[in-house]
Chains A and B, each alone.
Chain A
Amino acid sequence: MSERLSRRSRGVAKTVASALLVGAGALWADEAVLVGGGHELQASQGQIELNVDWVGNILRARDMPVTTFFTDGDETGPDVHYRLPGETPAGLLEPLARVFGDLDRERRRYRNHALPDVAGTTRRDALERDLGDVLERTAEEPLLLVYNGHGSQSPDNDAGVTLDLWGKTAMTARELHALVGERRGASESPLRYVFTQCYSGGFHRLAHADADAGLELSDGLRCGFTSESAHALAEGCSAGIDIGDYRDYTTYFFAALDDRERDGTVLDRDPDVNADGAVTLREAHLHALEKAHSTDLSRSSSESWLEDWQPWFLRWLPPPANPPNNEYARLFRTLAADADIPMETGIGRTLRDRLARHESSVQALRAERAALRPETTALRVALQRSASARWPALLGPYTDGYRELAASGELERIAEWLAEQTSYAALVDLQARDGELESAVLGAERDATRSRKLLRLRHLATLKGQLEAYGDATDRASYARLLACEELPLVLDTGAAEFVSTDE
Chain B
Amino acid sequence: MTRTGTRALHLFALWLLVMIAAWPAFVLAGSALGAWSGEARQLDAWALSPKRDMLARFLEGWRASLPVAAGFGALAVLDYLLLSRYRVTWLVGGILLPIAGIALAHVAYRDPAATAPTLACAGLVLALVSRLFERLRLSVTGEVAA
Once A348-B38, A350-B38, A459-B41 are accepted as A-B contacts, the answer to whether A317 and B48 lie under 8 Å apart by CB is no
Residues of chain B contacted by A317 (CB below 8 angstroms): 30, 34, 114-115, 118
- Which of A43-51, A204-212, A418-426, A450-458 lines the interface with chain B? A450-458
Whether A318 pairs with B48 at a CB distance below 8 angstroms is no
Whether B34 pairs with A319 at a CB distance below 8 angstroms is yes
Known: A313-B61, A452-B44. 15 other contacts (CB 8 A): A231-B49, A231-B50, A297-B48, A313-B64, A316-B30, A316-B61, A317-B34, A318-B36, A318-B118, A319-B37, A347-B38, A349-B37, A349-B38, A458-B39, A459-B41
For B37-79 the 0/1 string (1 means CB < 8 A from A) is: 1111111100011101000010011001100000000000000
Residues of chain A contacted by B33 (CB below 8 angstroms): 318
For A327-360 the 0/1 string (1 means CB < 8 A from B) is: 0000000000000000000111111110000000
Q: A-B pairs with the 3 shortest C-beta distances?
A: A348-B38, A348-B39, A318-B34
10 CB contacts below 8 A, A to B, read A229-B48, A312-B61, A316-B26, A319-B34, A346-B37, A349-B38, A352-B38, A452-B48, A458-B39, A459-B41
Q: How many residues on the A side are at the interface (Cβ–Cβ under 8 A)?
A: 29
Residues of chain B contacted by A455 (CB below 8 angstroms): 39, 44
Partner of A318, one of B37, B50, B108: B37
Residues of chain B contacted by A232 (CB below 8 angstroms): 48
- A24 close to chain B: CB less than 8 A: no
Chain B interface secondary structure, helix, strand, loop or mixed?
helix
Instruction: Give the interface of B toward A (CB within 8 A).
Output: 26-27, 30-31, 33-34, 36-44, 48-50, 52, 57, 60-61, 64-65, 108, 110-111, 114-115, 118
Instruction: Give the interface of A toward B (CB within 8 A).
Output: 156, 229, 231-232, 297, 312-313, 315-321, 346-353, 452, 455-456, 458-459, 469-470
Find the B residue at minimum CB distance from A359: B47
Find the A residue at minimum CB distance from B68: A313
Whether B48 pairs with A319 at a CB distance below 8 angstroms is no
Residues of chain A contacted by B110 (CB below 8 angstroms): 469-470
| Interchain CA distance A352-B108 in the complex, whole Å | 30
Whether B39 pairs with A315 at a CB distance below 8 angstroms is no
Whether B48 pairs with A312 at a CB distance below 8 angstroms is no
Whether A469 pairs with B40 at a CB distance below 8 angstroms is no
Residues of chain B contacted by A348 (CB below 8 angstroms): 37-39
Once A229-B49, A232-B48, A452-B44 are accepted as A-B contacts, the answer to whether A313 and B108 lie under 8 Å apart by CB is yes
Find the B residue at minimum CB distance from A231: B49
Find the A residue at minimum CB distance from B41: A459
Residues of chain A contacted by B42 (CB below 8 angstroms): 316
Whether B111 pairs with A469 at a CB distance below 8 angstroms is yes
Whether B38 pairs with A312 at a CB distance below 8 angstroms is no
Whether A313 pairs with B65 at a CB distance below 8 angstroms is yes
Whether B111 pairs with A346 at a CB distance below 8 angstroms is no
| Interchain CA distance A312-B23 in the complex, whole Å | 10
| Interchain CA distance A470-B111 in the complex, whole Å | 11
Nearest Cβ in chain B — how far from A413, in angstroms? 53
Residues of chain A contacted by B31 (CB below 8 angstroms): 316
| Interchain CA distance A312-B27 in the complex, whole Å | 10
| Interchain CA distance A351-B38 in the complex, whole Å | 7
Find the A residue at minimum CB distance from B113: A320
Residues of chain A contacted by B50 (CB below 8 angstroms): 231
| Interchain CA distance A455-B143 in the complex, whole Å | 53
Partner of B40, one of A318, A320, A452: A318
Find the A residue at minimum CB distance from B104: A313
Residues of chain B contacted by A353 (CB below 8 angstroms): 38
| Interchain CA distance A458-B34 in the complex, whole Å | 13
